Amino acid sequence: MSQKFPKLFLVLLAILFVLNLIQASVTELIYDEAYYWYYAQNMAWGYFDHPPMVAFLIKLSSFLFDGELGVRFMSCVLSVGTYVILWDLIDNPKKKDYVVHFFLLVFSFTLMNAYGFLTLPDTPLLFFTALFLWLYKRFLKDPSLPTTLLLGLVMAALMYSKYHAVLVILFVFLSNIKLIANKKAWLAVVLALVCYIPHFVWLYQNDFVSITFHLYERPNQAYSFDGFTLGYFLNLIVIIGLLFYWVYGALFKFRATDKFSKALVYLVYGIIIFFFISSFNRRVQAQWAIAITIPLVVIAFNYMLDNAKSRKWMYRIGLFSLILLLYARVWLVYHPLFPVLYETHGNKEWVNELHEKAGDVPVVFENSYRRAPMYQFYSGIPAISLNNYMYRKNQYSIDGSEEKVRGKKVLYVTKYRNSGDLSYMHLDSTVFHGIYIDNFQSYRSLKCIVNKRETGIGYDLKVYNPYPFDIPLEELKYTISYSNAYKQVEQMLPLKVKGKEFHRALLKSKDTLYYSFELPLTKMENPVYFRIGISENGLPPGLNGQPFKIRE
């Protein structure tokens, strides 16, 4: 152990682990963490936005600790594991003389630093990317059965972490195309697919909702070079931090000498090029390319070991980055250190204010899968997000969360009202108003299925009731929302439907009603999509139908 990991390495690793534990304990959750904590309250083989690994890590953490550490503990563990694997991936014997340089380098990678204590899907993605590369390196040297089986299991774990993992596996494969004739490689792939079957089944049972959303339903906007492509290159700088010049400089000067180093190059350039092309279609978020940081650490540290001038500058900038990032970590906890609000500031404050005013009444947040779990986490009171035509679907759209508040008195909270039964304010001065609703009833799972008629004008509409109870038709009103080419809603109108069903009083459980309709005139110029929604009991219309393209 001491030969592989010097004493100084183990000491610094222990310090890092304790630092991350403290940070995880005293920093308020960010909104995405609260959302994934909500995932973990009902363990499943998949969720609306992501595979289940992030929920699994939170569930494990919750068995050991309460509060924020009960969400983040496993992230601290995986971060330590990532450092260990990265160190072992570097073969250069000089590395033992530059342990401090190694920690300064890795600590300076901004998002890798943050994922050392935050629990997001990218946290396990980083760990399993490092472990995947470590096993692949062993596989190249000795494709034994144990290594092959472990490789398959880790590929499955990668895919259970985040869908972007397919890029990691794909580009490593493309770096060594001869693997296509390797039986052991196929065994690893088959094992990974077998392990992934539960998630495939979940996707099938949920109408491939995750794939459909990410590929087709996610709202977009008109292309902007500054916001899309230039913004993407800025993100590539942000995820590396202050050492970006030396890290990317090491990449440009790096030359592959074997199959493993070739895999590192393919992985970095493959992901960068893939999202560069994607940037011409949509805004690429910084964390989407986070997997490149694992091979970049290996490439940059190896280059630093053999280049004294770069080593000197990387050390100096690394020290400055260390101080800056430690200051930022304190700022995450103590807002007055820097006059910029972040998601870790003021959550307990607004939750406590709302809880004091609302008491133990369940809260229904309009269009906010972020505030609903944050409120539930810090107050312990049930809360859901009710999504309407101006928002998007999320986990609250598919998990039956309506049933938690059905028939109960609730507080309906929105930022779009000017008054209400009560109000509260976030730290950014945004005011929210809430109104009490007795006997709350919503039917957001009603499905509207639209088909264009083959002859004539107009459309056919099927309305399916998936609930285990009948629904009074008098409570339902139909609407249509028009949106542009980027699925941004610009107008909502009432919709008149025609059919022979109006004599019925109820839409029975598991039953379907059949209507027809024509598109109402809109003031919107050249609408591209429309979507059918249902307004129940005066609530804003839901997302009951899929976006339907007006002209093919």
Q: How many CB atoms lie within 10 A of CB 522?
A: 16
**Is the per-residue pLDDT at 387 higher than 60?**
yes
**Is the per-residue pLDDT at 1 higher than 70?**
no
Average pLDDT over every residue of 50-66? 97
Q: In the chain, list all ranges with CATH 2.60.40.
A: 447-549
Average pLDDT over every residue of 453-471? 91
393-406 per-position pLDDT tens digit: 999 999 999 999 99
Residues in the chain: 552
234-239-174 Cα angle (round to 5): 95
Average pLDDT over every residue of 25-44? 98
**Is the per-residue pLDDT at 236 higher than 70?**
yes
The residue among 230, 212, 238 whose CA lies nearest residue 110 is 238
Average pLDDT over every residue of 285-293? 95
How much is the pLDDT for 520? 94
In this prediction, residue 212 has a pLDDT band, given cuts at 50, 70 and 90, of: confident
Amino acid sitting at position 26: V
**Is the per-residue pLDDT at 2 higher than 70?**
no
**SS3 for 384?**
strand
**Is the per-residue pLDDT at 337 higher than 80?**
yes
Contact assessment for residue 61 and residue 105, using Cβ atoms and an 8 Å cutoff: no
DSSP at 526: S
Here the tokens at position 320 are 């400055």
Percent of the chain exceeding pLDDT 70 equals 99
**Is the per-residue pLDDT at 326 higher than 70?**
yes
370-374-375 Cα angle (round to 5): 115
**Of 146-150, 205-209, 289-293, the least confident:** 205-209
Average pLDDT over every residue of 197-211? 95
For all residues of the chain together, what is the average pLDDT?
A: 95
For the 447-549 domain, the top CATH level (class) is mainly beta
Token match 């929302």: residue?
481
Token match 């509409």: residue?
461
How much is the pLDDT for 502? 67
Residues 47 and 57: their CA atoms lie apart, in Å, by 14
How much is the pLDDT for 217? 73
88-125 per-position pLDDT tens digit: 999 999 999 999 999 999 999 999 999 999 999 999 99
Residue 335 buriedness (CB in 10 A; 0-12 / 13-18 / 19+): middle
Average pLDDT over every residue of 266-276? 98
Here the tokens at position 439 are 């006997």
| Partner residues linked to 494 by β-bridges | 479
Residues 29 and 180: their CA atoms lie apart, in Å, by 44
